[in-house]
Amino acid sequence: MEIKLYKGRKYSFCSCGLSKTLPLCDNAHRLYNQKNKTNYKSIKIISTESTRINISSSTWKKIDN
Ligand code: FES
């Protein structure tokens, strides 16, 4: 999916696929990790410029294209 990033803004992307706000993390991974002894974490970045990027993950089954 393509998203716009804004210069200087911090982003936290979901790596577990459970977030209701994909592609952004909503901390759903915390409960999942507790119940399943997994170690999912969000992927944090700070954009150095305003730009558009294409991102995808095999765990984003609902929105991946
Ligand atoms: S909700 Fe998926 S990594 Fe946080």
Q: What is the pLDDT of residues 49-60, one digit of tens each?
A: 999 999 999 988
Identify the pLDDT of residue 61: 81
Pocket test for ligand 1, best of 13, 34, 40, 44 (most atoms within 8 A of CB): 40
Q: How far is the CA of 50 from the centre of ligand 1 (A)?
A: 24
Instruction: Let me know if residue 3 belongs to a domain.
Output: no
Instruction: Let me know if residue 61 belongs to a domain.
Output: no
Q: How many domains does the chain have?
A: 1
CATH number at residue 27: 3.40.5.90
pLDDT in tens, the chain (65 residues): 899 999 999 999 999 999 999 999 999 999 999 999 999 999 999 999 999 999 999 988 855 44
Instruction: Let me know if residue 65 belongs to a domain.
Output: no
Residue 25 belongs to what domain range?
Answer: 9-53
Instruction: Let me know if residue 62 belongs to a domain.
Output: no
Identify the pLDDT of residue 62: 58
**Would you say the pTM of this structure is higher than 0.85?**
yes
Instruction: Let me know if residue 41 belongs to a domain.
Output: yes
SS3 4: strand
Instruction: Let me know if residue 63 belongs to a domain.
Output: no
2-15: b (≥16 Cβ within 10 Å) or e: eeebeeeeebbbbb
Instruction: Let me know if residue 4 belongs to a domain.
Output: no
